[in-house]
Amino acid sequence: MFRESQAAFTRAIEQQPRHREALFGLGTVLIAQEKHTAAEEVLASGVAMFPDDKQFETQLRQLRALPVRAVDADGEKVEKGKDAARA
């Protein structure tokens, strides 16, 4: 499901690079797939293109607030970030 959506949003952006809905949709799909670096790039470009659109800014801020997930030397999932530091 996400693959088809990602492909459709990408095609729309290729045809119209300033396609607001496609940029936001692609960012959202990338977050759902836990492709956070790519999502951050897409959402940051949306903020740059549409500085008055608070939806991009809000989504980007929420993404950046997520704990960073990583794998330790034993292959165990660990969380890093400000929330994990408090634990």
Q: What is the pLDDT along the chain (87 residues), one digit of tens a residue?
A: 899 999 999 999 999 999 999 999 999 999 999 899 999 999 999 999 999 999 999 999 999 998 876 655 665 555 555 444 433
- How many angstroms separate the CA atoms of 2 and 21, rounded? 16
- State the CATH number of the domain containing residue 22: 1.25.40.10
| 10 CB-contact burial (10 Å; exposed 0-12 / middle 13-18 / buried 19+) | middle
Q: In the block, which residue shows the tokens 């607030």?
A: 65
Q: How many domains does the chain have?
A: 1
Q: What pLDDT sits at residue 67?
A: 84
The reported pLDDT for the residue numbered 84 is: 46
Range of the domain at 61: 2-86
DSSP 3-state assignment of 33?
coil
Amino acid identity, residue 31? I
Tokens read off for 2: 């996400």
Q: Residue 75's pLDDT is what?
A: 54
